[in-house]
Copies of this chain bind each other. A is one copy, B any other.
Amino acid sequence: MRADVHRFVIATPGDVAALDRAICSGQVNPREIVAVIGKTHGNGLVNDYTRGYLTLALSSLLMKHTGETTEEITRRIPFIFSGGVEGVLTPHFTVITSTSDGAPNKSDQPSLAVGVGFSERLSPADIGREAQIEATADAVRRAMARAGIAKSADVHLVQVKCPAFALEAIRSAKPQPKVGPSQLMAYGRAAGALGVMRALNERPDVHINETQVLGDFGIFSNVASVSAGIEMSATEVVLFGMSQGWSGSLAIDHEPLKDALDINGFYALAKRLGLSPQPQVARHDAARIRAAFVKCEADRSGRIRGKPHTMLNDGDIDQQRHIRGAVGAIAASILNDTALFVSGGAEQQGPDGGGLVAVIVDRTGAAAGA
């Protein structure tokens, strides 16, 4: 198998013209698409409809090309979109394809591997609870199996999208969640992360359970990146790792982010991936970046390295918009690339107050010593 990653900058959340051209020209085979992950123009909060817009535009496009129904497409391909391209960030989506190259991978060098998984439908009452944790864990296990990855240590990113619900859906749920739409999204992200931890056995010393959801921030995944959106009714998982069962020049690696100023984390990862940052990755090396994924959050203590920030007192701009703009700029300035997947709401995804970063690069053309 060989995974490939194609990134498309978009002018609007309905802009699928570039992918249409790539399909028409044969560059992308729509039958080989296994997942689409992207950042859209919206606020990334409850009333962000740009995620649903792009989902509709993409499924309409793929229907046209493959003859599948909407249902067939959405059952096959996770569409994981996160709103919010604050500051320097660029709206885009990344198409991940998987090609069967007929022969088993001969190389002794592992390559980028990818697998997807879906849960059953979840209700508002499941969010943040055992039901969601286990449904997520189950989908992660399936995704890992499909990726042909046996060891958790070879998993570098588990991108999860879980359902969110607007006020009316919450009000009519039985039993009714005790929190509003925005806070329920936080529960969903945290429980999604714990589901990843359970599947990967990230903390063998701990029994992962629902009391830890937003309850113990010392328990966190190092590879889970979870978004929530009202356009979803089930959980979708895209798992990335390295495997000798896959071939090709792409590779992925990841790094935890200690806090919102952890530029050294980005720098270390860029170095390890052979991107030669000084501190910025030069243009020719930046061209080898195929995708980058960042989770981040506004430190809930109200302070970063001892000095106060204002993100959690702000009634004009949501904390997630603040932190995406800030950490996204740090990531972009090191990686020399603005089309990054930067997502706020890193509850239990990376260290408390920090987050994580994963980058996929094309190893072709890297300097020897890198």
Give chain A's interface residues, CB within 8 Å of chain B: 9, 11-14, 41-50, 52-53, 56-57, 60, 85-91, 166-168, 171, 180-182, 230-231, 260-264, 267, 277-280, 301-305, 307-318, 321-323, 325-330, 332-334, 336-339
Bound form: Cα–Cα A307–B263 in Å = 22
Smallest beta-carbon distance A348→chain B, Å: 18
Q: Could you give 9 example pairs across A and B, Cβ below 8 Å?
A: A41-B310, A45-B315, A56-B56, A168-B303, A261-B338, A317-B321, A325-B326, A327-B329, A329-B330
Of B87, B311, B333, the residue contacting A263 (CB under 8 A) is B333
Q: How many copies does the complex hold?
A: 4
Known: A52-B12, A182-B315, A279-B263. A87 touches B323 (CB 8 A): yes
Q: Determine whether the beta carbon of B46 is less than 8 Å from that of A49.
A: no
Known: A48-B315, A260-B329. A307 touches B167 (CB 8 A): no
Beta-carbon nearest neighbor of A328 in chain B? B326
Smallest beta-carbon distance A261→chain B, Å: 5
Smallest beta-carbon distance A202→chain B, Å: 27
Known: A14-B49, A88-B326. A280 touches B264 (CB 8 A): yes
Q: Determine whether the beta carbon of B49 is less than 8 Å from that of A42.
A: yes
Smallest beta-carbon distance A314→chain B, Å: 5
Q: Determine whether the beta carbon of A280 is less than 8 Å from that of B263.
A: yes
B-side contacts of A48, CB under 8 Å: 315
Q: Determine whether the beta carbon of A312 is less than 8 Å from that of B167.
A: yes
Bound form: Cα–Cα A318–B86 in Å = 11
B-side contacts of A301, CB under 8 Å: 171
Of B45, B50, B333, the residue contacting A261 (CB under 8 A) is B333
Bound form: Cα–Cα A302–B172 in Å = 11
Of listed A87, A311, A329, residue having the most chain B CB within 10 A: A87
Beta-carbon nearest neighbor of A167 in chain B? B302
Bound form: Cα–Cα A142–B192 in Å = 53
Known: A56-B56, A318-B315. A307 touches B90 (CB 8 A): yes
Beta-carbon nearest neighbor of A333 in chain B? B263
Q: Determine whether the beta carbon of A279 is less than 8 Å from that of B305.
A: no
Bound form: Cα–Cα A50–B89 in Å = 21
Bound form: Cα–Cα A308–B56 in Å = 23
